[in-house]
Amino acid sequence: MYCYFNGELMPVEQAAFKTNDLSVLRGYGMFDYFRTYNGVPFQWDWYWQRFKNSAATLRLPLPLTQTQTADILAELYKLAQTPEVSYRFVLTGGYSPDSVNMVQPNLLILTENLPKDNPEGRTKGIKLLPYEFVRDMPEVKTTNYLHMVRLAQEMKSQNAADLLYHKDGEISELTRSNFFIFKGDTLITPDRNILHGITRRYVMELAAPLFKIEVRPLKMEELLEADEAFTTSSTKWVMPIVQIGRQIIGNGLPGQRTLKLWQLFEESVKNYGLATLETAR
C-alpha cells in the first residue's frame, strides 16, 4: 500500500513522524476513515465536509483543497491495485519547537486493506459494556481513543465487542460508531455528545420511508423498552446489538427491522458509483 505524506506519495512503511509532533507530545490530532465501493469513495463530499469542519474546530489549517485531495485518492487507488480500499486521513498539530505552539500541520493519507467482515455479529448480534464517559469535543474525530484501548482486554474477557458511552443517564455513542434503538416501528438515535456519523446519516435516509425517526436525547432507562438495538459505522454497516452489560435487548436476537436496514444498506452499495464511472468513461 502507498500513502500521501506532506506532498509526497510513498510506500506506507516509509512515512514517519518526528518525535516532536504535537500528536505524540500532546495528543493533538484528528483523523477520518472511509472506504470505496466499486472503486468510488463512499459519500466523499460528506466525509470531506466533516474532515474540514473538524480541522476548523481544532484550528488546524488544511494544506489541500477537496479537488486536490480527490486527485490524490484516485492516484492512491491506482497504486493499491486492489478492487476496494479504505482511506485513513490523519491531520496532526505538526512539529512544535516548544511542544505547545503549532507551526504547520502534518497530513497523512493512508490506503489500507478493508477490515474483515463480521458475519457472526450480523447473524447473532454483539454485546456492549456500558461505560460512563463522554468524549471531549465529540463532534471531532480526534486520535484520542484512550478508554477503548485501555479497556480492550476487559471487553475481550466479557465477550463484548465495544463500549456504550453514557453520562448522567443519557446515552451518546459507542467508541467508534453510533447507536440506535427501535421501539416498535420508531427508530431513535441520540442527538448530543456524538460524532455525526456518515453511515448514521445514510442509514437514517434509508430508514425514513419505512419508520418514524426520532433524533433526541436517549436515556439509559429506555433500553428496558427497546425491541431492537444496532450500531452504524463505515466498517460495521448496520450491526445488531443484543446485549448491553447484563441486559438482553428484545428477545436476544438480531431484530427484523435492523436486518431490513442491513439488507437495504447492502443493496444500496452494490451499484454505488457505477453511474459516475460510466459517465467518466
pLDDT tens digit sequence for 134-167: 999 999 999 999 999 999 999 999 999 999 999 9
Q: Which residues contact 231 (CB under 8 A, 6 or more apart)?
A: 126, 162, 174, 177, 178, 179, 180, 239, 241
2-112 carries CATH number 3.30.470.10: yes
The pTM assigned to this predicted structure is 0.93
Residue 113 forms beta bridges with which residues? none
What's the pLDDT tens digit per position in 216-244?
A: 999 999 999 999 999 999 999 999 999 99
Cβ count within 10 A of residue 245: 15
d(CA 35, CA 47): 10
> Is the pLDDT at 279 greater than 70, yes or no?
no
- Determine what percent of the chain is predicted with pLDDT higher than 70: 98
Q: Where are the domains of the chain?
A: 2-112, 119-268
Residue with cell 474532515: 51
User: Which H/E stretch holds residue 109?
Assistant: strand 106-112
pLDDT interval class at 280 (50, 70, 90): very low
Show the cell assigned to 37.
465501493
> Measured between alpha carbons, how far is 19 from 142 in angstroms, rounded to an integer?
19
Residue 273 has pLDDT above 90, yes or no: no
**Mean pLDDT, to the nearest integer, of 174-190?**
98
What pLDDT score does 281 carry? 41
Fold of 119-268: D-amino Acid Aminotransferase; Chain A, domain 2 (3.20.10)
Q: How far is CA 240 from CA 123, 182, 191, 199, 270, in A?
A: 8, 11, 20, 15, 21
Say which residue, 275 or 119, is predicted with more confidence. Answer: 119
Residue 178: name the closest of 247, 115, 230, 254 by CA: 230
Residue 114 confidence (pLDDT) above 70: yes
**Average pLDDT score, the chain:** 94
- pLDDT beyond 70 at 22: yes
Split at pLDDT 50, 70, 90, the class of 119 is confident
Q: Which residues contact 60 (CB under 8 A, 6 or more apart)?
A: 30, 91, 93, 102, 105
**Bridge-based pairing state of the strands 212-215 and 186-189:** parallel
- Residue 149: the pLDDT is 96
Among 39-43, 59-63, 113-117, 258-262, the minimum mean pLDDT is found in: 113-117
- Residues in CB range of 149: below 8 A, 6 or more apart: none
Is pLDDT at 116 greater than 90 in this prediction? no
pLDDT at 117 over 90: no
Higher-confidence residue of 24 and 275: namely 24
Residue 118, pLDDT score:
77
Distance CA 153, CA 177 (A): 19
* 106 pLDDT above the threshold of 80: yes
DSSP state of 223: G
The predicted pLDDT at position 177 comes to 97
Q: What is the mean pLDDT of residues 254-275?
A: 92
Reported as a pLDDT band with limits 50, 70 and 90, residue 121 is confident
